[in-house]
Chains A and B, each alone.
Chain A
Amino acid sequence: MPERPDPSILLPLSTSAFHILLALAEGDRHGYQISKDVEVETDGTIRLGAGTLYRLLKQLAADDWIAETARADAEDPRRRYYKLTAWGRRIAQAEAERLSRLVRMARARRLLPAGSRA
């Protein structure tokens, strides 16, 4: 494993990338499941088309944020599953912390009611 830098230099993440990481944080998913999850989580405001999705997945895999698992799909052998790597998890955590810091600041400036859901 090469020496990992501080993940904060990679922040902020693009919305799509962060959502993919969020979806995979819940467990292993194949491509279509990821896009469905993202769509549901964002109430349909973010839809990842197949091209966009796989281009991102390819990039994330190349950067070792995610990895393909060995798991095979029983229904459709074409399916491939992806998981979050440890490095990917650290990045996702860093991004989440960054966002929560932003939320705290917004509350302090009364942009958000205290205790409400962001």
Chain B
Amino acid sequence: MILRLALLLCPPEFRREYADQVAADAAESGSVWSTAFDVARTGIAMRFETLGRELARAARSLSRAPLFSGIVILTLALAISVNAAVFGIFDAVVHQSLPVAGADRLVLLCAGSCQGQISNPDIAEVAKSARSFTDVSAYQMLGQTLTGIGRPSKVEVGVASPNVFTGLGIKAEVGTLFDGGLSSSTDDVVVSHKFWVDRLGEDRNVVGRTIVLDDTPHRILGVAPNDAAFPTPFIPPTPNLFAVWEVLRPSTFVRGPGAFNDWAFARLAPGATIASANADLRRIVSGIAAEHPADERGLSIKAVGLRQWYASSPERTLLLAFFAAFAILLIACANVANLMLARTTARRHEYAIRAALGAWRSRIVGELTAEIVVLTSVALVLGLAVASFELRLAGGFGIVFAGVRPAIGSLAVLLTLAAVVVAICAGGILPAYFSTGTNLESTIRGGGRGAPVARLSFFRAALSVAEIALAFSVVVTSVLLFKGFLGYAYPDLGANANHVYSTEATLFADRYKSDAARAAFAQTLSKQLARLPGVVASTIALGTPLTADGSDGGPFRLIDHAYAPGKAEDGTLSQVMPNYFSVLEIPLVAGRSFAPYDRLGSAPVAILSHALSVRLFHGNAVGRRILLERPDKSYRAATIVGIAGDVHPWGMPAGDTTIYVPFMQWPGHIAQIVVRAQASNGDDGSLDRRVGNAIASADPREAVDMLFSWQWLLAARAQPEHTGAILLAMLAGVAFLLALAGIYGVVSYGVEQRWHEFGVRMAVGATPGCILKDVLGKAMGLALLGIATGITLTALCSRFIASQIYPASPFDLPVFVVVAVCVAATLLLASWIPARRATRLDPSSTLRYE
């Protein structure tokens, strides 16, 4: 038995010849084990010798076919480099270093649908009774007014639990941070590195200095380090985030839905896992729900590993990139398989004779395999080099994935090797097996033509159809996803966001007691803004397509309609100045815009969005009246004077329910200042300063918030998907070109193989038109079959497309048509060019063509 196993290691011809004698020897010597050991050792040595000989022979044979070898190596290297690059990115994302110490034991606690946030009392409860966690910490962002340093300004304040720095393992750059103990006072603040640099001039004696937030003095305890990136994956509300960390105040405890404002983190206790932590959380949650049935019904809290949380967004695009890269590999394999088939077809006569002389089919397949192994090895080295170059190039352009610069690591190399095995099997061994399994006798008798050729051409046609289908579905899917991404990154807001900046001023009730006072402020500010240099147009509003929150109301009632007390229709109120529509380029569909005479005391007017006017009044809304809910819950009738084009906040496709009212009739408690800057206006902060000056001249007590660009806001939202989408588009491009080149090669080769047949047919009187028609008809058939298969494949992928974060339509006729036309055109060209050449040649020369 052991001897038989040892013999299996030997080459088959050795085994056949000597197995009996070895067995006899072993029986006679009585030392089966030592015999088996020696046989095994020799067997392995012989195998390596054979392998070396085969590879050397393959390399020699390939060097005689430089064009074939070159094309195969380039094709495979391209596919391998693409795969290695995607694997490299994957590697980097999986192993990325998070900006937090001990990130692997950190979890994010989130409530409900897990948008990341959780309510304050729930965290307190978790901190108190969870056994799976140490260091439960939380913070939330609040906008506060900073006074005492320059002009009053808005700052983002992270209101945090005292242990937030110790819990996340962050050390002070200057002074001290909250230490989590009782010594932390609610009057202490820690300033962010950026705040320290921008506002405090990097003063190292800053500890003990006092700053005033919302009229309350606070003592600076220290400066958080530059990389104290709190794990907030949300989009910062302003490009310049000033964070002042303050101890959590008990007064901010709010319970129930809508109170999910906190980012909460916890460190897993020794021995705890995410699963055990979640079980622990379920126990706590059921306790909370039982105690507060009214507020906390349906509460759920989940622990998500911080690393997993960070990776989840790029993972989705990466998954797509994986698919695309794999599809490229398959397409490349199909191309190589076709080239291999062409090569073996050309040499089939030689193989047939060798087989007739007793060469084993496995031996011929082995030779072909050696060839593909040599080619793939060269392609692997080349591909890895190209991949690291690609990634360096991407890094040079500042393309980073989830904040990491990808490089080719060990995991990437390992995964690439797996891809190479696929390439060797699909591109080499399979076609070698198919092409040598032909009927030898007929091959020799047919002078290398006949039945086997028919079988091979069927195999090639099947490969072409598969390649067309694969390329079609990859390209169509990628293009649809990319279109979806573009729609997400550059949404149709229904308004023009180009060069639009906005900021807001809060009109505090203690300073602006009456509607008239707020209206007067808006009036003065409008005049100041209109005078600003570098500003094309400006307006004031409350509730714009990108700053919809903060609006003062929305519910309304229809006249002549009975409502139960407290019931009303849902709408979105937007208080705007008369020039709002022209500044944001929102078209007026009917009626008029607001005018300066629509002010306090004049007849209340409103403008409806087009979708709302269609829903309520079948589009004939002008002149009708609706009842709008006032802040004091009373209703006031307003006459509809116009219909505005629909806006889509953040590109939401849902029907617009905006009801516009004149800001001067409904002066809001917040005035959002919207300016359209000149295109030449740089981001040098001068516009910021000028708008700040305008606000200060309208009311010097008013805190000035950061001015932020609408284009920046949209870009920041799409940022996590940006690199992935571009990567996907590039992969789709590569896949498409590779597939078109492959299809062209296969089909034109197939037509060239028929030159002999064309010669015969033309010799017996067929016209060139006849032959072209036949060839093009076959190509069309292939194209249709391939595209039909591709459409089926795409339909299967569409479920996946629909599950993506940005909405992408799974069916888009223009995209389908363009890709299908490209594929069909390539096929027709690939058939037409060689067929035409054949028909122009003298039949006698095509007859001789082999």
Contacts and interface: CB of A to CB of B under 8 A. Distances in A.
Interface of A: 30-32, 35, 49-55, 57-58, 76, 78-80
A55 B15 CA distance: 10
Nearest to B21: A31
A50 B26 contact: yes
Contacts of A55: 14, 42, 45-46
Contact of A52 (B20, B23, B26, B42): B42
Interface stretch (B29-37, B138-146, B362-370): B29-37
Contacts of B17: 54, 58
Contact of B24 (A52, A58, A79): A79
A36 B34 CA distance: 15
B41 interface: yes
A17 B39 CA distance: 17
A30 B46 contact: no
A78 B23 contact: yes
B567 to A, nearest CB: 93
**SS class of chain A's interface: helix, strand, loop or mixed?**
helix
Given A51-B41, A55-B42, A78-B23, 18 more contacts: A32-B21, A32-B25, A35-B25, A49-B35, A49-B38, A49-B41, A50-B22, A50-B26, A50-B38, A51-B10, A52-B42, A54-B17, A54-B21, A54-B42, A55-B45, A55-B46, A76-B24, A76-B28
A50 B25 contact: yes
A50 B39 contact: yes
Contacts of A57: 18
Interface of B: 6, 10, 14, 17-18, 20-26, 28-29, 34-35, 37-43, 45-46
25 contacts: A30-B21, A32-B29, A49-B34, A49-B38, A49-B41, A50-B25, A50-B38, A51-B6, A51-B10, A51-B35, A51-B38, A51-B39, A51-B41, A52-B42, A54-B21, A54-B22, A54-B42, A55-B42, A55-B45, A57-B18, A58-B18, A76-B28, A78-B20, A78-B21, A78-B24
A69 to B, nearest CB: 14
**SS class of chain B's interface: helix, strand, loop or mixed?**
helix
Contacts of A80: 21
B273 to A, nearest CB: 52
Contacts of A35: 25
Nearest to A51: B42
A50 B35 contact: yes
Contacts of B6: 51
Q: Lowest 7 CB-CB distances: which A-B pairs, in order?
A: A49-B38, A51-B42, A51-B39, A78-B20, A51-B38, A54-B18, A78-B24
Given A32-B29, A54-B14, A55-B46, A49 B39 contact: yes
Nearest to A76: B24
A30 to B, nearest CB: 7
A53 B28 CA distance: 15
Contacts of B21: 30-32, 50, 54, 78-80
Contact of B37 (A30, A49, A58, A79): A49
Nearest to A32: B25
A11 B26 CA distance: 32
A58 B20 CA distance: 14
